[in-house]
Every structure is written in structure tokens, then in C-alpha cells.
A = this chain, B = another copy of it.
Amino acid sequence: MLFYWLNLIGIFFFTISGSLAARDKKHYHDYFGVFFTGFLTAIGGGTLRDMMLGAYPISWLSDRNILISIIIAFGFTLIFKKYIVKLRRTLFLFDTVGVGIYTILGVQKSLELGVNPFAAVILGLVSAVFGGVIRDTLLNEIPLIFAKEIYATACIAGAVLYTTMLYFKIEANIAASVCMSIIIIIRIIAVKYKLALPKFDAGNETID
């Protein structure tokens, strides 16, 4: 039940993040383009995960609350668009919470459906980041997760820890809470201190 609400909250903020990204290309996108980019950002990761798992029906096709969240988020973006830029730090926080939730939800759902732990970690990552990959590809940019500060790395760390904790019979709710927190904390620290994985093949490969 908590997960259900957290999911809707994640959808809400992913929609705003996608809408704002499209809005940055302001000489190009009309209202529909901004809405549709927000929509795809919000449902992209979970939809791809469910299609790979063959887990039908896909959640937003059976639960209309997900679409209502997206519409509310888009209305919110329209109304507060002049102020929302100042909220970027707040948005970052909630986006990070969303990524944390989606990673663990994705791992959990995959394990329930009998996927091996290695693959479950990857599907958790896909759930969390692929909405953003679709968003960036549609905006004709190289996806941010390929270059940004510790992002996918934080998800993978949390997902691996989660599967490890379940392996040692730690209760799922506790494991989930711990691992979501860890993903969020790693991400906040990485952004605050501008930590990043070394560029592949760059001269200074000492950070890793």
C-alpha cells in the first residue's frame, strides 16, 4: 500500500521532469509535445520492464490512477511553470526518491516473477532510468545516464544490496526501505560533491 502511493508520487515527479526537459526546447515543442514527453518519461521504464517480463496487464493500462497522476502533474507544470525552475533542488530530491523507489520495485517484481537475481538488478535499473533514456532520445540528446554523476551506479548498488539482503532472509519491507535510502543518499552525496565515474579512456582514471 505504501509502495502503491510511492509509485504514484514517483509518476507525478517523473512527469514534471519530462515536461520540463521538453520545455527547455521551447522553440520546438507545443503543449502536446511537452505533455507527451512527460507521459513517456513517467511510464517508459515500468512499461519496458513489464513488456520484458511479459507481466500483463501493464500497470497504467489497468490502473487509471497512474494516468490521473500524470494529468495532475502536467496541470501542475502548466500552472507553476514560472516558479518551478526555482524548485529544481526540490525536484532533484523527488526525482531521486522516484528513482530509488522504482529501482527496488523493479527488482522486487522481477524476483516475484522468477527472474534470476542478476537480471532482476538490471530490470530494476531499467525501471528506474529508461523513462529518462526515452525522454533524452526523443529530445535528440545522448541519454544523461550515460554521462552524468553517479546515477545508474547508485541504482545498481541499491539493487545488489536488496537482492543480497533478501538472500539472507531479511524482511522485504525493511530491506526495501534501507536500499531505497541508500540509493537516495549516494545520489545526493554524488551531486553535492560532484562525484562521477571516470570517463572511459580519459587520462585521469584515478577516481574509480
A residues at B contact (CB < 8 Å): 22-23, 25-34, 36-37, 39, 47, 51-54, 56-58, 60-62, 64, 67-68, 81, 110, 114-116, 118-119, 122-123, 133, 137-143, 145-147, 152-153, 196-202, 208
Contact = CB atoms under 8 A, between A and B. Distances in A.
Contact of A200 (B33, B47, B137): B33
Contacts of A116: 61-62, 64
B138 A28 contact: no
This chain: how many copies in the complex? Answer: 3
Closest A-B pairs by Cβ, 9 of them: A33-B146, A54-B56, A30-B197, A26-B201, A34-B200, A61-B119, A67-B118, A61-B115, A64-B116
A68 B25 CA distance: 40
A148 to B, nearest CB: 8
A45 to B, nearest CB: 14
19 contacts: A22-B200, A29-B147, A29-B200, A30-B146, A30-B198, A31-B197, A31-B198, A31-B200, A33-B146, A36-B145, A36-B146, A37-B146, A53-B56, A54-B57, A61-B115, A68-B118, A138-B146, A139-B142, A140-B142
